[in-house]
Structure 1
């Protein structure tokens, strides 16, 4: 038969009772918990994995597991000092009834209460008596000063290194699917990868689990323990996405470009007039005509020239304005040639006379 030694990883069934009263206060059996009235919907029942000597159970029980044989049942008695401690008279406090009623609490004997100290520490207690406007509360553990009786059975002693790590993960994070955890073990080092569970398990649960698990793995002999992701990586806030920011920046740039194009088009339209008027003045100057026509032409030339000079500083050369200039030059020349023809006819008529 195999005996249990300190540092071994085992699976243990137990039921804890108060020796003086026979009250069951803890058990790994679901049916026993239901009969005793201590069943919890969130509780996990079945043989619990522990590392012997690591403090995973009460000190008095933990110490007496060493030397027990696997598969055997035992009854272990734990004295108060190695159980929930001796009763301490200093932990019995007296309060006024008004202190409770101001908080909307109406105390009665046996009522569980929780009080926060000035240092922020929360103490759980139980009301002992209510009389004469005074309330006595006992902050000792309910089983302090009691002898405890544990009925235990060593169900299994785990030998495989990978299974040892899985058992300790089950102890610290009982709702984690250990089949999704990648474990690599060496002689003195171990790597535990929770990467596949990062979106399934709360990050805070993983952080706390890794901290406790590191202590357990070092207790059973591993000197170097590595987690993926590490505690620091789990505590690091997620990076912000930059996609939305880029979209916001690109919009004003597009609007600015459109405005610039509109300004350039407006500038091109403005430059057409002074160029055409200057050319029109040049066309009028080329056309010889009668005295009346010449005077009119001179006046036209002066008007056009003055307007052209005023607009000249704003002149810009663009392809668009050049096309417009050629079209208008043709029109001006046609008009001038007609005037020349008419003037020639009038001269011939005068010669005949």
Structure 2
């Protein structure tokens, strides 16, 4: 039978009890948890993957795993000092009843409480007694000073390097589908790629920090992650301001002024004026021609209008005369008929 050594990655089944009372306080068996009333719907039950000696379980249990045979069940006794510690009388504090009631709390023996110290540290405790306006609270661990019994079984000792890494990922990040994780191992180095694992940044950061410690504990000197912790903690890059390049204005070359240059400039200006502005004589001729044109146009328009008016009147007169003649003829015909 194979024996467990420090640094081995194993799968462990166990149930922890208080020796004095037989109370079950922890277990990897789902049915036992339900029977003991400590079942957690969100918990994961089954053999837990751990690295022996890495502190993944209670210290008093961890150190006694070395030398155990795979597949064999053991009963391991853990003394208080290697379990949840000895009871410390200094951790029993007394408060006034008013301190609780001002916060809307009505304490009773056995009630769990949480108190924040002046330094901001939160302490979890349990009410021991309520009497005479005084409340005594015990901040020792509930199992401090107790002897513990573990019923333990090493179910499997993992030998394959990649399966070891997967087991430790399962321990630190149980929500990860290890089939989506790419693992490359060498003699002293390992690379773990979580790119396709679909984890949020915070989970990855914490998981990688813990996992790095575990992988180095089992013998890897160089541990790499994709994406790495540094990359995950790096703040998003800010978009740089757009740089607009301005076209430089092309300036005319500087030319030293001389008498010849000045004469040439004046000549060019004079020619430009002659081209743009007509002479005074030409201007007068143009104005006279424009006036004549306007007069002719006015006369033609007037004659056309008057002629048109005369034609209209003549036509109307002729029509009226013919109507009178027709009426007179009709009257004569009527008279002849009467005769």
- Normalising TM by the smaller chain, what interval? 0.7 to 0.9
Deviation of 1:202 (Å): 2.0
Deviation of 1:120 (Å): 1.3
1:233-244 alignment, distance < 5 Å: 233-240=231-238
For the pair shown, the structure with the greater C-alpha radius of gyration is: 2
Query: Counterpart of 2:117?
Result: 117
Q: Does 1:29 align with 2:15?
A: no
Distance 1:37 1:79 in 2: 25
1:283/1:333 contact within 8 Å kept = no
1:1-353 alignment, distance < 5 Å: 1-197=1-197, 200-240=198-238, 284-286=283-285, 297=288, 335=293
Deviation of 1:238 (Å): 2.8
* Per-residue Cα deviation, 1:320-340 (whole angstroms, up to 9, x for no partner): xxxxxxxxxxx969949x89x
Distance 2:88 2:121 in 1: 18
What SS does the corresponding residue of 2:231 show, helix, strand or coil?
helix
Stretch of structure 1 that moved more, 223-232 or 107-116: 223-232
What SS does the corresponding residue of 2:157 show, helix, strand or coil?
strand
Query: Counterpart of 1:317?
Result: none
Query: Counterpart of 1:326?
Result: none
Deviation of 1:196 (Å): 1.1
* Per-residue Cα deviation, 1:240-295 (whole angstroms, up to 9, x for no partner): 568xx87xx99xxxxxxxxxxxxxxxxxxxxxxxxxx96697754346xxxxxxxx
Distance 2:239 2:36 in 1: 54
TM-score of the superposition, structure 2-length normalised? 0.73
Distance 1:160 1:282 in 2: 113
Change beyond 3 A, Cα 1:154–1:281: farther
Distance 1:9 1:57 in 2: 13
Distance 1:55 1:96 in 2: 40
1:13/1:46 contact within 8 Å kept = yes
Change beyond 3 A, Cα 1:282–1:74: farther
Count of matched residue positions in the alignment of Structure 1 and Structure 2: 268
1:280/1:332 contact within 8 Å kept = no
Distance 1:334 1:283 in 2: 16
Question: Which ranges in structure 1 are unaligned for 5 or more consecutive residues?
Answer: 251-276, 288-295, 298-330, 340-353
Deviation of 1:221 (Å): 0.5
TM-score of the superposition, structure 1-length normalised? 0.70
Distance 2:279 2:227 in 1: 82
1:113/1:125 contact within 8 Å kept = yes
* Per-residue Cα deviation, 1:100-138 (whole angstroms, up to 9, x for no partner): 111111100000001111111111000000000100000
Instruction: Report the aligned-residue RMSD.
Output: 2.9
Distance 2:281 2:69 in 1: 123
Query: Counterpart of 1:307?
Result: none
1:283/1:332 contact within 8 Å kept = no
Deviation of 1:201 (Å): 1.5
